[in-house]
Every structure is written in structure tokens, then in C-alpha cells.
Amino acid sequence: MRNINSRIYLSSPHMGGDELDYIHDAFAKNWIAPLGANVDGFEKDLQDYSGREHAAVVISGTAALHLALILCGVESGDEVICQSMTFAASANPILYQGAKPVFVDSEAKTWNIDPALLEEAIVDRIQKKGKPKAIIVVHLYGMPAKMEAILRISNKYDIPVIEDAAEALGSSINGQRCGTFGLFSVLSFNGNKIITTSGGGALLSNRKDLIDKSRFLATQARDDAPHYQHSELGFNYRMSNISAGIGRGQMKVLQERISARRRNHDFYFEELGETWLNLLGSTIKDEKRFQVSSFNPKQESPTGIYFLKEPKGCVSNRWLTTILVNPAETNGVTRDDICQALGKKNIESRPLWKPMHLQPLYKDFPYYGRGVSDMLFNYGLCLPSGSNLKDDEREKISGAIKEALKRKQVLT
Ligand SMILES: *Cc1c(COP(=O)(O)O)cnc(C)c1O
């Protein structure tokens, strides 16, 4: 029995029911190893779902990103461009390779890498250091990045795109699924993602040679010889047949999981928002050096709470529902006030990702920005968004937020 007073999490695992059958099958056949029918089956499921021709499942999304960088030829001293507004796992594998990240700010329509700044960064790096080896693009919280413009720049300068689709399985642009853009795509099946294998990831590409090579590198780079022989540096990155069994079961309910997350978003929007975010729309286009530090005061939201709209042709899986809280319109109630009010009711919420250029680990690397991701970090909050959230839980959450918004009005 579920206890209504138990903690409500941001995004918790949600099993479908068939996962155990695949695990039992692995036990019955004694394929308790990082290979077997579930590994093959899960890879095929991912190919069929995404439309990518080849997929290799690995222990984590981070491992998949690391392999992608190696296969892009990233070596010590090279530069790699990375979206600043993301989770550290997008950037950390750059350092694993001894390479240097160059961070780029987001644009306000999708919160993902700004194509204009991306090009500015490429041109500047070519002048100063030489051409970056890869571009890591993220679909933050499931919202697709501006892939058309990004891929045009990638082609123009001949720099491969690594698509970090860890949060975006099930999102699409004009019907094309996220996880199929760029030379490589990366998925994550960590416990908090839209589907989970407890921990896991996948590397996808249309290039068979590259995915074959990723499997070779992920299994200790063993040469074709009767003894153990190694000419290259390998890793132990392959996914276990047990985890892959969970993945096969989860793939059967993926579509339901996406619908449930989208319903969460629509519920919050109707309860709290009523206003799509369109801040900065024209200002940032017109003025290249415009610095964003807060909301445009001309925004008029009945509640001071803003949501991100899907651009035309884009579908977000709404992995997490995110809001921006404008204290100028809430009588001073801030994102942190709301986060604390939720915490008191045992409801988990969290500020948006802290951009990489603000992280102590990364603050000394080059950054090209105009303040958009700083603003998002200052005003943004992730709300509980699990596909297993119940109606009464969602009502409890929106009720707590409304209460927090009201309380300050009484005080002022
Ligand atoms: C979760 C996540 C990753 C890393 O995936 P793991 O499977 O946890 O290693 C990478 N990038 C983004 C944007 C993520 O959200």
C-alpha cells in the first residue's frame, strides 16, 4: 500500500511488469554476463524504436559519451565544444580523454545550445587553437535542440555532432526521433531517466564500423588472437545481460511512460502557468551582446510561473517538467521559496542544472555566452515528473506551490 505521506520523488523507476521474465530467462540459461540474448534483443529494440541502424548498449550514458569521443579521435590537448547548460556527465568524458571543453550558452526557446554562439565559438577557436574535434549537443529535460541549424554548422566546419539524448528518448523533431541526429547519439537508462535498466546507456550511429569498434573498445579491446592480446586501450563498458533484460521489459511500456510524463506537464501547466515562456524572443536576436540577468518585466503571467513551449514540429517527452519563477510577478516569492515549501511537505524538487561554466571544476575553461543559462539556473525549478505520479500526488504538489505563492502575498 502506498502511503500518501511518503516522499514524492522527482523521477523514480517505474517497472512495467515484463522485466522479470527477461531476467528469469537469463537465469534459466545462465547468461549472467555482459553478453547474451537480452543484450542483443535490447539493442535491436533500440534500433527499431529510434530508426538508427546500429546500437551498442553499455554500462552508462557516460560510458557511451566517452566511447563517442574516442571514436571522434579526441585526444589529449584537443578541444571539444559542449553545451554549458547540462548535467556534468555530458562534459566529464572530455576530461577523461585529457581534452579541453569549450562551453557554449543556450538559447531561450529550447534551453539548448545556441546555434549562433556555437558558430561564433567555432570561428574563434579555429583562430586561437585549431578546430574543435566534436560538438556535444544536449536535449535538456527532453526538449529537442535546434538540430537543423546545429547540423548545418557541423557540416559547414566538418566537426561531428555527438547528440546527448540521455533525457530525450521519445522526443522528436518533425517526426524524426531524438537519438538519430549527428554522427553519434547517446542514451541513458539511469534510475531517474524515462526508462531505466537501473544503470545503463547506449551508443547509436548509422555507421556500422563505428558501432563495431565501440563494442571492441567496450570489451577491453581484445585483438583477434587465441591468447589475450591488446594493441589498443580498452574499457570494461558492456551492459550486463541482466540489466538489458530490464531494458527489454521497459521498451514495451516506453510509449505509456512518455504519455504519462506529458500528462504531468499539462497538469502543472493548467494549474500553475497558463502562460508560455517567450521571454527574450526578439531582444536576443537583435542585440548580439545583450546580457540576460532576469526576466523581461513586460512578461505578464497571472502567476509569475512560466513553462517552456514546444517549438513548432518538436515533441518533448517532458522527462522533467520545469518552471521559471519570476519574483517580480509573485510578490517576491522565489524559486527557492517554492523548493523549500515543497521540501517541507516531503516533496522533492530541484533547481535546473547548474551550467558547466559556473562549476568549480570547469570555471577556467573557455565559455561563449550571453547569460541565458545563468538566468535559467537562477530562476528555474524541476518539479516531480515521474510516470508513476498519482493524481492525488500531483494535486498535493500544485497545492503546495499555490500555497507558497499565496503566503508571500499575505505577508507583503
Ligand atoms: C543522465 C545523463 C547523462 C549520463 O547518463 P548516465 O547513464 O547516468 O551515465 C548524460 N547526459 C545527460 C544530459 C544526462 O541527463
Closest Cα to atom 14, ligand 1: which residue?
A: 166
Between CA 162 and CA 139 the distance in angstroms is: 11
Strands ordered across the beta sheet of 367-368? 54-58, 201-205, 184-188, 161-164, 135-138, 79-83, 100-104, 367-368
In the prediction, which pLDDT does 394 show? 97
Quote the DSSP letter at residue 367: E
- In this structure, what C-alpha cell is assigned to residue 347? 516533496
Q: Given this model, what pLDDT does residue 304 score? A: 83
Measured from the CA of 63, which atom of ligand 1 is nearest? 9
pLDDT for 347-376, tens place per residue? 999 999 999 999 999 999 999 998 899 989
For residues 59-73, give the mean pLDDT. 98
Q: How far is the CA of 141 from the centre of ligand 1 (A)?
A: 11
The residue behind cell 549472467 is: 32
Q: In whole angstroms, give the CA distance from residue 358 to residue 374.
A: 8
Question: Radius of gyration (Cα) for the chain, nearest Å?
Answer: 22
Q: How many degrees, rounded to 5, is the angle at CA 173 between CA 258 and CA 178?
A: 60
Q: How far apart are CA 334 and CA 385, in angstroms?
A: 20
Which CATH architecture group holds 19-253? Answer: 3-Layer(aba) Sandwich (3.40)
For 299-314, the three-class secondary structure string (H helix, E strand, C coil) is CCCCCCEEECCCCCCE
Give the mutation target among 83, 188, 352 for probing the ligand 1 site: most ligand atoms within 8 A of CB.
188
Q: Which three cell numbers stand for residue 317?
A: 517527452
Q: pLDDT tens digits for 24-49?
A: 999 999 999 999 999 999 999 999 99
HSE, side-chain direction, 13 A CA sphere, residue 253: 19
82 lines ligand 1 (CB under 6 A): no
245 lines ligand 1 (CB under 6 A): no
Mean pLDDT for the chain? 92
Chain region(s) in the chain for CATH 3.40.640.10: 19-253
- Give 132-186 pLDDT, tens digit per residue: 999 999 999 999 999 999 999 999 999 999 999 999 999 999 999 999 999 999 9
Q: Across the chain, how many H-helices and E-strands are there?
A: 13, 15
Distances (CA, A) of 335 to 11, 12, 183, 324, 354: 19, 22, 38, 7, 14
Structure confidence at residue 409 (pLDDT): 57
Would you say the CB of residue 330 lies under 6 angstroms from ligand 1?
no
Burial 252-263 (b: 16+ CB within 10 A, else e): ebbeebbebbbe
Distances (CA, A) of 3 to 7, 71, 348, 390, 393: 9, 48, 16, 12, 11
Considering the chain, tell me which residue range(s) the CATH 3.90.1150.10 domain(s) occupy: 255-411
Ligand 1 lined by 87 (C-beta under 6 Å): yes
Is 150 in contact with 163 (CB distance < 8 Å)? no
> Among 86-95, 113-122, 362-371, 403-412, which stretch is predicted with the lowest mean pLDDT?
403-412
> Does residue 408 have a pLDDT over 70?
no
Q: Which atom of ligand 1 is nearest to the CA of 62?
A: 9
Q: Look-up: residue for cell 515484463?
A: 18
pTM for the predicted model, two decimal places:
0.94
Spatial distance between the Cα atoms of 316 and 244, rounded to a whole number of angstroms: 25
How far the first Cα of the chain sits from its last, in Å, is 42
Architecture in CATH for domain 255-411: Alpha-Beta Complex (3.90)
Amino acid letter for position 12: S
